[in-house]
């Protein structure tokens, strides 16, 4: 175990007696994006059961004929 503050072994930063390292010059870049998720589902057939996961990156269907439109 090595201290992240003084870099000496035997203790952690929270227990370090040395003065805190100066944080000047340290930077962090943060990328933020505002997005709105939407889910639209319309099924007219009772022949197949559908399970929809709104957190999935894509959905698939084995029967292309039941789709009105699709993008390959």
Instruction: Return d(Cα 2, Cα 16) in angstroms, integer.
Output: 10
Q: Check residue 4 and give its pLDDT.
A: 85
pLDDT score of 11: 92
What's the pTM? 0.30
pLDDT in tens, 14-64: 899 998 876 666 777 888 887 777 777 666 666 666 666 667 766 667 677
Q: Which DSSP letter does residue 62 get?
A: S
d(CA 68, CA 58): 17
Position 2 pLDDT exceeds 70? yes
31: exposed, middle or buried (Cβ count in 10 Å: 0-12, 13-18, 19+): exposed
pLDDT score of 8: 92
pLDDT at site 49:
66
């Amino acid at each position: 175990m090595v201290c992240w503050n003084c870099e000496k072994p035997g203790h952690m930063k929270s227990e370090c007696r040395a003065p805190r390292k100066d944080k000047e010059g340290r930077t962090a870049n943060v990328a933020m994006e505002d997005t709105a998720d939407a889910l639209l589902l319309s099924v007219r057939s009772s022949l197949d059961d559908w399970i929809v996961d709104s957190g999935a990156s894509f959905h698939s269907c084995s029967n292309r004929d039941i789709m009105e439109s699709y993008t390959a």
